[in-house]
């Protein structure tokens, strides 16, 4: 009799423990807490500034090798359950995030760099975006260390994220080589795209003359240029609106050559741009596009040809 | 098995299930909207063209004070007044004095 009671208690206890362990394990695996975007918190807020970029890649180790070789980034690996994440560091400071995400060939998808724009209120920005034709890809969500963020698309389909960072927004300074210096949105209709982002982020919009007649506008907050909006070239039907982020380099041609040697490819060969330095667009070995851009002293700037 | 023992066993199961369910629902708990999974895993559609930029195609920032397009009332956005000078990116060094953007 006593033996039966003990067996009964052990059996029921074991079932309960198993259920508990399964649920806790599931919660832990799904509750990866992305790190803050800065190790040293700032009290500054710069709505509309690109303050973070995150690479979704099927090969985290391969991506780390590529970006370490190209920009000298080092990495802080954070693994939680089945989630593998790495913080890329430039001179010891966080500069980007890399997320491992399996991309099956049947998915017909490719890795890319997700652009994070600073906001004060993620929910208000999301509502404004949706109210003006945007869509929600990932609903607003709060993370313990990082803050609140959401992933959205604009009305033309370009994907971006909005973030209210708990560690504040990085102060405004010129990016060092290896840091993000510029972002461009390439859209089918730059005019209405600029209007959408102006509504959501309150940008001042400056329309610039362009030699090729294509529209090129500058989005500005705090009296600083934050990003450009450009009309996508119309030479191919296989173009889709997207954000493109640029890393500052000392020499865009050298960077492009090095990228190819590391397994990447060149999408736009080095060329002189409006600011007087060269830029190029590169795809990393997994296919994620990004730009490299020189920023030379004003006195040494070349004239665009 | 006595009634008391059964009650004790049921209470134990109840506590364990309650603990398990609360772990599932609450996650890490910050404002009740936390920890149900980090899912930035959006990836771009494949098969699109990048590049193909013509000779005069410019995407970069200016140095500040760049020439504006002629005023037009047909824009979907509200253009900054023509009197406003086109800004540059921040040009000050990290942690060092003036940020130096064109204003």
pLDDT at residue number A212: 75
B6-58 confidence digits (pLDDT tens):
666 666 665 555 444 444 433 322 222 323 345 555 556 666 778 778 888 89
pTM listed for this prediction: 0.82
Task: Test B17 with A271 for CB contact under 8 angstroms.
Answer: no
What DSSP designation does A236 have?
-
Domain-located, residue A8: no
Task: Test A108 with B47 for CB contact under 8 angstroms.
Answer: yes
Whether A98 and A54 have beta carbons less than 8 Å apart is answered as yes
3-state secondary structure of A147: strand
> Is the predicted ipTM greater than 0.95, yes or no?
no
Query: Which residue carries 């979907």 as its tokens?
Result: B76
Domain-located, residue A9: no
Domain-located, residue A180: yes
Domain-located, residue A135: yes
How confident is the prediction for chain A on average, in pLDDT? 87
Domain-located, residue A29: no
pLDDT grade for A61, boundaries at 50, 70 and 90:
very high
Give the one of B33, B60, B94 whose C-beta lies nearest to A273's C-beta: B60
In angstroms, the CA B58 to CA A215 distance is 9
Domain-located, residue A32: no
Query: Which residue carries 């990048």 as its tokens?
Result: B50
Domain-located, residue A203: yes
| Axis crossing angle, helix A122-131 with helix A190-201, rounded to the nearest 10 | 140
In angstroms, the CA A57 to CA A76 distance is 16
Domain-located, residue A27: no
Give the one of A137, A192, A236 whose C-beta lies nearest to B49's C-beta: A236
Distance from CA of B27 to the nearest CA of A (A): 6
Please count the other Cβ atoms lying within 10 Å of the Cβ belonging to residue A99.
Answer: 22
Tokens of B83: 């009197």
Highest mean predicted confidence (pLDDT) among A42-56, A100-114, B13-27, B63-77: A42-56
Domain CATH number, residue A156:
3.10.180.10
In angstroms, the CA A272 to CA A280 distance is 9
pLDDT grade for B92, boundaries at 50, 70 and 90:
confident
Give the one of A23, A182, A305 whose C-beta lies nearest to B61's C-beta: A182
Provide the domain limits for residue A267. Answer: 50-300
Closest residue by Cα to residue A214 from A242, A244, A186? A186
Structural domains of chain A, count? 1
pLDDT grade for A18, boundaries at 50, 70 and 90:
very low
């Amino acid at each position: 009799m006593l033996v039966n009671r003990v067996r009964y208690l052990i059996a029921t206890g074991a079932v309960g423990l198993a259920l508990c362990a399964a649920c806790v394990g599931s919660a832990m695996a799904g509750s990866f807490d992305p790190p803050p975007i800065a190790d040293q918190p700032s009290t500054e807020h710069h709505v509309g500034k690109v303050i973070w970029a995150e690479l979704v890649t099927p090969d985290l180790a391969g991506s780390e090798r590529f970006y370490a070789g190209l920009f000298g980034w080092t990495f802080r690996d954070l693994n939680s359950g089945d989630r593998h994440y790495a913080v890329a560091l430039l001179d010891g400071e966080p500069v980007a995030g890399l997320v491992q995400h399996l991309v099956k060939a049947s998915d017909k998808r490719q890795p890319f760099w997700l652009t994070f724009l600073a906001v004060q209120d993620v929910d208000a920005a999301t509502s404004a975006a949706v109210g003006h034709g945007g869509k929600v890809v990932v609903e607003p969500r709060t993370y313990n260390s990082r803050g609140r963020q959401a992933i959205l698309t604009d009305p033309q389909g370009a994907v971006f994220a909005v973030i209210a960072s708990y560690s504040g927004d990085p102060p405004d300074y010129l990016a060092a080589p290896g840091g993000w210096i510029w972002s461009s949105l390439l859209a089918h209709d730059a005019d209405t795209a600029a209007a959408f982002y102006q509504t959501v982020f309150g940008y001042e919009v400056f329309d610039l003359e362009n030699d090729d007649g294509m529209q090129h506008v500058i989005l500005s907050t705090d009296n600083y240029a934050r990003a450009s909006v450009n009309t996508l070239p119309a030479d191919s039907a296989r173009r889709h609106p997207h954000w493109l982020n640029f890393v500052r380099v000392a020499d865009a041609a050298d960077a492009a050559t090095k990228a190819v040697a590391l397994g990447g490819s060149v999408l736009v060969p080095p060329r002189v741009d409006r600011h007087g330095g060269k830029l190029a667009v590169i795809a990393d070995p997994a296919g994620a596009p990004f730009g490299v851009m020189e920023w030379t002293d004003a006195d040494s700037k070349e004239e665009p040809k | 098995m006595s009634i008391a023992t059964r009650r004790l066993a049921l209470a134990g199961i109840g506590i364990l299930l309650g603990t398990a369910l609360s772990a599932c629902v609450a996650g890490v708990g910050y404002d009740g909207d936390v920890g149900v999974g980090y899912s930035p895993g959006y990836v771009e559609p494949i098969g699109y063209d990048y590049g193909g930029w013509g000779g005069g195609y410019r995407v970069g920032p200016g140095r500040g004070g760049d020439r504006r397009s002629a005023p037009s009332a047909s824009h979907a956005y509200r253009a900054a007044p023509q009197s406003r000078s086109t800004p540059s990116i921040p040009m000050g060094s990290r942690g060092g004095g003036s940020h130096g953007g064109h204003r």
